[in-house]
């Protein structure tokens, strides 16, 4: 007997055939061979035709059967992995009414932000473990507001995997895990997120019936059999979003285990057995594949939209037509760590959740025409994605998620030794590579769903790593390049923020916090301006009167000291908090008390490092030790912990 698994991605459709008895992978095929196109009719939009997913799935099914001379009746069950957060809408005849609004589409950001503000941020995090954000529910609200004629014809809404299951079986259903990824599941009440639906004015009956993730959700119809070449009556017995499914494929099913992948987007996914909340919604929590109403298993997901898609863009637009990814890897390996000053931000694929749903865009900087070539750009591109991963991993660590080892599949960007070694070095953990894919994991999971395998844990535990990436010995070079990249990123974020409303324009902010926010903003701007002028003047030494230059630099340094005096105002505002904290933890050092103050004021790691005269890594280490000293529980943000202390005063 055999098992069949599908991975419905935004780039391609993968199909895996697995021997149900030996669990050996017979074959994996992909359609199309080139990446599928996205429809982008406006900036920030991303759509695909669901019918195209089904067409390529049918082609892949027929190819894998014919290629391996398999009798379709010997295929026991089917598992489906799919791109998360998408919105597919159909009428009563199960016809698609418009292109699917897929995961990286950012048109609904403002809708989700307004909902969070009106319903209450605390309510959303407590009940949904997420802000409504740019997820499926908010995308449906966008359709309701902007395409009312289409909205009136909707019979059911679906996630991409629900659509594929419908095409196989003729039945429309969903799962708890799927609902949670659309912010349509209430974790606290363990039911449909009815209050959010009511807030959006969306009828509850548009949501399909819920079926368990591992269960026979239906059987192949005669029509599906004709289109796919599979046998009528074949069971469809597993369905999950690509990231929970990828974690399952890598045997990441228990707390403390971490999976990562880097296809079109990049993801780090950790499992916890409790509620996990990020007040800034940079990390999102979804029901894991083994979540039930009686057993809480949550996946803490960090997503970087601009990841593999950036490197794919490089190959298409920058590399010569005959260059493969292997060719690019050989070229970039000849360039030193840090790409000799060239750096790239990969964030050009819609709003990034790690930046609170801001569209940062991609940037390529510091190219010198007489010194840099394609190899430098390739190196900077792959490092940019790796640095973005590490930036995200540090956010997870701040939230108390343990990361002792990272497991990845032997595909996508983790096939690059430079990419994987960069992440291993900067995160300080080993990366284990497994010969598996989402399609293979979905196939094996379907075996559990149809009852062939009594334990999914035992099935997945049989996989063994085929490669290990360890931190590099020359770690200092990697950290130097990473700090430089982080510094430039912070400048970009600060500059972008200046174009938006000041924090003091938030009428809901307490007066004291408004003053602190205003002072922080003034100080940050003044310091950046002073530093820029100083660097420019230093560059002019030797070309102008050095006495005049030195006098101007001295004056600027005096201005910096005046800036520090302004900062003392913040110290005075925070004095009750420091006093309260010191009474609770009398063994905290002066430096640790100052770090608590800066964390309370939401200073970045870079700013804290500057304040305490530390390296970026040193500040991260001190913050980790401070968590232990304060005995902050796992899964609790240190920012939330200090906020709660302030409330007690």
Q: What is the per-residue pLDDT across 490-542, written as a single tens digit (0 to 9) for each?
A: 888 877 655 544 444 455 555 545 545 555 555 555 665 665 565 555 555 55
* Residue 574: per-residue pLDDT: 53
User: Are 394 and 620 contacting, i.e. CB atoms less than 8 angstroms apart?
Assistant: yes
In the predicted model, is pLDDT for residue 548 greater than 70?
A: no
pLDDT at 18 over 50: yes
| Among 117, 372, 399, 170, CA closest to 285 | 399
What dihedral angle (degrees, nearest 10) is formed by the CA atoms of 580, 581, 587, 589? -120
Q: What is the mean pLDDT of residues 343-356?
A: 87
- For residue 325, is pLDDT > 50? yes
Give the tens place of pLDDT for each residue, 567-589. Answer: 554 554 456 777 778 778 888 88
Cα angle: 536, vertex 477, 327; to 5 degrees = 105
Token duo for residue 238:
């597993």
Tokens 């700090």, residue located: 483
Structure tokens at 594: 């100052």
**Listed range (192-196, 432-436, 589-593) with the worst mean pLDDT:** 589-593
Query: What share of the chain has pLDDT > 70, as a percent?
Result: 87
Assign 445 a pLDDT band (cuts: 50, 70, 90): very high
* pLDDT reported for residue 399: 78
pLDDT tens for 268-278 read 998 888 877 78
Check: CB of residue 213 under 8 Å from CB of residue 179: no
The strand pairing partners of 304, in sequence order, are: 266
Q: What DSSP line would sit under 220-279, residue for residue?
A: --HHHHHHH-PPTT-EEEEEEEHHHHHHHHTT--STT-EEEEESSSEEEEEEESS----T
* CA distance readout (Å), 378 to 429, 557, 580: 25, 39, 51
Q: How far apart, in Å, are the Cα atoms of 471 and each of 10, 139, 186, 482? A: 32, 41, 40, 14
> pLDDT: is 560 or 344 the higher one?
344
Q: Read off the pLDDT of residues 469-484 as tens digits, 9 standing for 90 and up.
A: 999 999 999 999 999 9
Q: By CB neighbour count within 10 A (0-12 exposed, 13-18 middle, 19+ buried), where does 533 fall?
A: middle
Longest alpha-carbon distance in the chain: 88
Mean pLDDT of 49-57: 97
Other Cβ atoms less than 10 A from the Cβ of 613: the count is 9
> In the structure encoding, which two tokens stand for residue 638, read together?
């240190």
- Of 534, 594, 531, give the one whose Cα is nearest residue 568: 594
Q: Note the helical H segments in 499-615.
A: 511-540, 546-584, 590-600, 605-611
pLDDT for residue 202? 97
The predicted pLDDT at position 98 comes to 97
Query: How far is 405 from 469, CA to CA, in rounded Å?
Result: 11
- In angstroms, the Cα distances linking 496 to 232, 235, 491 are 56, 51, 8
Q: Please tell me whether residue 157 adopts helix, strand or coil conformation.
A: strand
**Any idea which residue has 């032997």 for tokens?**
410
Q: How far is CA 121 from CA 130, 159, 181, 311, in A?
A: 9, 25, 18, 36
- Residue 213 vs residue 131, higher pLDDT: 213
Whole-angstrom Cα Rg for the chain = 26
The string of DSSP codes covering 411-471 is SGGGG-HHHHHHHHHHHTSEEEEES--HHHHHHHHHHHHTTS-S-HHHHHHT--EEEEE--
Q: What is the pLDDT of residue 537?
A: 58
Comparison of pLDDT for 502 and 350, the residue scoring more: 350
pLDDT at 512: 46
Alpha carbons 241 and 450: distance in angstroms, whole number: 19
Q: What's this model's pTM, rounded to 2 decimal places?
A: 0.69
**Token pair 């950790």: residue:** 270
Polymer length in residues for the chain: 649
Residue span(s) of the chain under CATH 3.30.420.40 come to 2-243, 266-435+470-476
Question: Do 276 and 283 touch, CB atoms closer than 8 A?
Answer: yes
Contacts 24+ apart (CB under 8 A), 524-528: 524/494, 524/607, 525/494, 525/498, 526/559, 526/563, 527/560, 527/563, 528/491, 528/494
Is residue 122 within a helix (H) or strand (E), and if so which, with residue range?
helix 121-128
Structure tokens at 278: 């990020």
Q: Quote the CA–CA distance of 193 and 519 in Å, as a whole number.
A: 40
**Cross-strand partners of 75:** 2
- Classify burial at 295, counting beta carbons within 10 Å of its beta carbon; exposed 0-12, middle 13-18, buried 19 or more: exposed
Two tokens at 213?
A: 């993730």
List CB contacts of 374: < 8 A, sequence separation 6 or more.
318, 319, 331
Considering the four listed CATH numbers 3.30.420.40, 3.40.50.720, 3.30.470.160, 3.90.1150.10, the one that applies to the domain covering 2-243 is: 3.30.420.40
Tokens representing residue 391 in the block: 């930036």
What pLDDT, on the 0 to 100 scale, is given for residue 94?
98
Map residue 174 onto helix, strand or coil: strand
Q: Which residues contact 126 (CB under 8 A, 6 or more apart)?
A: 188, 275, 277
266-435+470-476 CATH: 3.30.420.40
pLDDT over 70 (residue 207): yes
| Cβ contacts of 217 within 8 Å, gap of 6 or more | 165, 169, 171, 173, 211, 236, 237, 239
366 closest CA partner among 476, 479, 532, 488: 488
Cα 372 to Cα 376: distance, rounded to the nearest angstrom: 6
**The pLDDT of residue 601:** 80
- From 213-222, 488-497, 542-551, the region with the lowest mean pLDDT: 542-551
Dist CA 146 CA 152 (whole Å): 12
Q: What is the dihedral of CA 530, 531, 536, 541, to 10 degrees?
A: 100
* Cβ pair 382, 162 in contact under 8 A: no
What rounded mean pLDDT belongs to the chain?
87
pLDDT, tens only, 379-423: 999 999 999 999 988 888 877 777 888 999 887 899 999 999 999
Q: What is the DSSP letter of 353?
A: G
**Mean pLDDT value of segment 216-240:** 98
């Amino acid at each position: 007997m055999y098992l069949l698994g599908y991975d419905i991605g935004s780039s391609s459709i993968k199909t895996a055939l697995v021997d149900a008895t030996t669990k050996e992978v017979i074959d994996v095929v992909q359609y199309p061979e080139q990446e599928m196109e996205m429809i982008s009719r406006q900036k920030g939009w991303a759509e695909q035709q669901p019918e195209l997913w089904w067409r390529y799935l049918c082609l892949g099914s027929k190819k894998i059967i014919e290629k391996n001379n398999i009798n379709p009746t010997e295929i026991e069950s089917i598992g489906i992995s799919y791109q998360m957060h998408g919105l597919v809408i159909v009428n009563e005849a199960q016809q698609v009414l418009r292109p699917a609004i897929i995961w990286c589409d950012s048109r609904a950001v403002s809708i989700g932000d307004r909902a969070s503000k009106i319903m209450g941020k605390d309510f959303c995090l407590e009940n949904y473990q997420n802000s409504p954000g740019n997820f499926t529910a908010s995308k449906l609200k966008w359709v309701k507001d902007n395409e009312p004629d289409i909205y009136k014809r909707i019979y059911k809404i679906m996630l991409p995997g629900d659509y594929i299951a419908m095409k196989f079986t003729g039945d429309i259903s969903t799962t708890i895990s799927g609902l949670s990824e659309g912010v349509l599941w209430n974790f606290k009440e363990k039911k449909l997120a009815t209050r959010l639906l009511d807030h959006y004015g969306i009828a509850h009956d548009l949501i399909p019936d819920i079926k368990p993730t591992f269960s026979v959700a239906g059987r192949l119809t005669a029509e599906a059999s004709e289109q796919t070449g599979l046998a009528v009556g074949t069971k469809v017995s597993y369905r999950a979003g690509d990231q929970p499914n990828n974690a399952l494929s890598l045997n990441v099913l228990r707390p403390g285990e971490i999976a990562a992948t880097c296809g079109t987007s990049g993801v780090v996914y950790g499992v916890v057995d409790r509620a996990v909340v990020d007040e800034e919604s940079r990390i999102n929590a979804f029901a894991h594949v083994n979540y039930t109403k009686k057993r809480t298993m949550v996946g803490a997901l960090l997503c970087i939209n601009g990841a593999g898609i950036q490197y794919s863009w490089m190959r298409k637009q920058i590399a010569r037509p005959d260059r493969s990814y292997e060719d690019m890897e050989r070229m970039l390996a000849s360039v030193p760590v840090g790409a000799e000053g060239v750096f790239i931000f990969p964030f050009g694929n819609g709003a990034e959740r790690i930046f609170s749903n801001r569209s940062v865009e991609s940037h390529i900087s510091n190219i010198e025409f007489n010194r840099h070539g394609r190899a430098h750009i390739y190196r900077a591109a792959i490092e940019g994605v790796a640095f973005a991963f590490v930036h995200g991993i540090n956010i997870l660590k701040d939230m108390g998620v343990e990361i002792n080892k990272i497991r990845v599949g032997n595909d996508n960007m983790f096939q690059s030794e430079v990419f994987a070694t960069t992440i291993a070095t900067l995160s300080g953990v080993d990366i284990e590579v497994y010969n598996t894919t989402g399609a293979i994991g979905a196939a094996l999971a379907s075996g559990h769903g149809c009852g062939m395998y009594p334990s999914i844990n035992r099935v997945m535990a049989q996989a063994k790593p085929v490669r290990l990436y360890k931190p590099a010995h020359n770690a200092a070079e990697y950290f130097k390049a990473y700090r430089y990249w982080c510094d430039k990123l912070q400048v970009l974020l600060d500059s972008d923020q200046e174009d938006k409303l000041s924090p003091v324009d938030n009428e809901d902010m307490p007066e004291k916090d408004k003053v602190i926010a205003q002072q922080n903003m003034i100080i940050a701007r003044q310091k950046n301006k002073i530093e820029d002028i100083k660097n420019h003047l230093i560059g002019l030494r030797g070309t102008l009167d050095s006495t005049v230059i030195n006098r101007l630099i001295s004056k600027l340094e005096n201005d910096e000291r005046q800036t520090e005096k302004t900062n003392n105002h913040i110290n005075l505002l925070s004095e009750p908090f420091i006093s309260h904290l010191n009474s609770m933890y009398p063994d905290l050092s002066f430096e640790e008390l100052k770090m608590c103050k800066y964390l309370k004021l939401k200073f970045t790691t870079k700013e804290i490092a500057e304040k305490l005269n530390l390296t970026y890594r040193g500040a991260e280490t001190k913050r980790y030790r401070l968590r232990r000293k304060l005995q902050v529980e796992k899964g609790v943000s240190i920012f939330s912990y200090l906020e709660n202390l302030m409330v007690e005063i």
